[in-house]
């Protein structure tokens, strides 16, 4: 007699909010948020007003939640056919498409409220990341460079933090943007190792699918070497001192550990590299920036 696992029940009432937080993997906001705050601190080499940091926080939460909601909506059919992702909230039926659409609109509203309280230039620039959020899920259908598009969209965070304080561009946040873009692109290449077989069947493009798993890891490593170089150049452009560079040295060590640790086909190691190592690295970078401001 065969048995089957019952399908998850749709979230209702008070269950909806925890389900939505699970959908967007709210804890992963920590990847980009420290870089947004770092951009804000480096802009003046001092702590901005708490109100500014609060609006930056709201903008980041809104943007991150919007990006993930769009990604889950666009990829819901592909996710349903992938054994690893079939249990996600939309394919499994825990959340409806309309519930996620409403959540995306609420997230966009939070972003707009935040930028309305920041320098006027942010109001004119907010469509850029939103357009990238919409484009990114589709890039996987036609180019293996999709990882870089993801990095570019999330990497805007430090520019956003800088402009929220100064209302103007500068070379330092642009270099931080580039650093975050190749860092995220690199670890997304590692994460894509989990779905190589499914992606080949579905016609989804990625660096591991195009170049093979071993070469993909070398490409990811090259991205992370470039990340360290760009972070150093950003520090030079911002005229920082030794605490910042100590933080970068620790970040480099974390990235080195990540690449020594990960192995193709080892799900546990890939998840640890994707989640734990990169989360710690972003926090270490922020601590280095805070230490820099403290000694200034």
**Widest CA span of the chain, in angstroms?**
71
Cα–Cα distance for residue pair 287/293, rounded to 1 Å? 10
CA angle 233, 125, 161 (to 5 degrees): 45
Torsion of CA 153, 154, 158, 164, to 10 degrees: 70
Question: Does 192 fall in a domain?
Answer: yes
pLDDT score at 278? 84
Most confident of 13-22, 260-269, 275-284, 286-295: 286-295
Residue 136: exposure state from Cβ atoms within 10 A (0-12, 13-18, ≥19): buried
**pLDDT for 231-261, tens place per residue?**
999 999 999 999 999 999 999 999 999 898 8
Q: Kindly tell me if the per-residue pLDDT of 71 is higher than 90.
A: yes
**pLDDT for 132-156, tens place per residue?**
999 999 999 999 999 999 999 999 9
Count of the separate structural domains present in the chain: 1
Q: Which residue has the higher pLDDT, 126 or 278?
A: 126
pLDDT score at 13? 61
Q: Kindly tell me if the per-residue pLDDT of 124 is higher than 60.
A: yes
Distance, C-alpha 69 to centroid of its chain:
13
What percent of the chain has pLDDT above 70?
92
pLDDT score at 263? 79
Q: Long-range contacts made by residues 130-136, C-beta under 8 angstroms, separation at least 24?
A: 130/63, 130/66, 132/156, 133/63, 133/66, 133/67, 133/70, 133/71, 134/70, 136/67, 136/71
pLDDT score at 5? 45
Q: Kindly tell me if the per-residue pLDDT of 7 is higher than 70.
A: no
Cα–Cα distance for residue pair 287/289, rounded to 1 Å? 5
Q: Kindly tell me if the per-residue pLDDT of 207 is higher than 80.
A: yes
Question: Does 12 fall in a domain?
Answer: no
pLDDT score at 74? 96
Question: Does 13 fall in a domain?
Answer: no
Q: Assign 2 a pLDDT band (cuts: 50, 70, 90).
A: very low
Cα–Cα distance for residue pair 32/144, rounded to 1 Å? 23
Question: Does 89 fall in a domain?
Answer: yes
**pLDDT for 147-206, tens place per residue?**
999 999 999 999 999 999 999 999 999 999 999 999 999 999 999 999 999 999 999 999
Question: Does 7 fall in a domain?
Answer: no
- Evaluated on CA atoms 51, 47, 44, 127, the torsion sign reads negative
Q: What's the whole-number mean pLDDT along residues 100-116?
A: 96
Range of the domain at 255: 18-295
Question: Does 10 fall in a domain?
Answer: no
Cα–Cα distance for residue pair 32/18, rounded to 1 Å? 21
CA angle 182, 59, 279 (to 5 degrees): 45
As a whole number, the mean pLDDT across the chain is: 90
Question: Does 4 fall in a domain?
Answer: no
Which range has the worst mean pLDDT, 13-22, 132-141, 207-216, 283-292?
A: 13-22
CATH code at 147? 1.10.357.140
pTM of the model: 0.91
Q: Kindly tell me if the per-residue pLDDT of 3 is higher than 70.
A: no
Question: Does 138 fall in a domain?
Answer: yes
What percent of the chain has pLDDT above 90?
77
**φ, ψ dihedrals at 276, nearest 5°:** -65, -50
């Amino acid at each position: 007699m065969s048995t089957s696992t019952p399908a998850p029940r749709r979230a209702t009432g008070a269950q909806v909010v925890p389900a939505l937080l699970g959908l967007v993997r709210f804890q992963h906001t920590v990847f980009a948020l420290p870089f947004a705050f770092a951009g804000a601190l480096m802009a003046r080499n001092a702590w901005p007003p708490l109100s500014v940091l609060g609006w930056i926080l709201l903008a980041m939460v809104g943007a991150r939640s919007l990006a993930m909601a769009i990604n889950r909506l666009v990829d819901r059919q592909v996710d349903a056919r992938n054994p690893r992702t079939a249990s996600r909230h939309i394919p499994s039926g825990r959340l409806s498409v309309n519930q996620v659409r409403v959540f995306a609109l609420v997230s966009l509203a939070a972003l707009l409220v935040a930028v309305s309280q920041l320098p006027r230039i942010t109001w004119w620039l907010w469509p850029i990341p939103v357009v990238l959020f919409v484009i990114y899920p589709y890039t996987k259908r036609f180019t293996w460079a999709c990882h870089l598009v993801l990095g570019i969209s999330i990497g805007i965070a430090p520019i956003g933090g800088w402009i929220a304080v100064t209302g103007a561009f500068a070379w330092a946040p642009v270099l931080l943007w580039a650093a975050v873009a190749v860092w995220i692109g690199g670890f997304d290449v590692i994460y894509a190792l989990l779905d190589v077989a499914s992606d080949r069947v579905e016609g989804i493009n990625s660096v591991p699918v195009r170049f093979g798993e071993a070469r993909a890891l070398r490409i990811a490593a090259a991205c992370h070497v470039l990340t360290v170089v760009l972070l150093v150049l950003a520090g030079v452009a911002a005229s920082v001192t030794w605490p910042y560079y100590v933080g970068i040295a620790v970040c480099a060590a974390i990235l080195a550990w990540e690449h020594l640790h990960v192995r193709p086909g080892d799900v546990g190691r890939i998840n640890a590299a994707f989640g734990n190592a990169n989360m710690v690295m972003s926090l270490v970078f922020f601590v280095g920036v805070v230490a820099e401001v403290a000694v200034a």
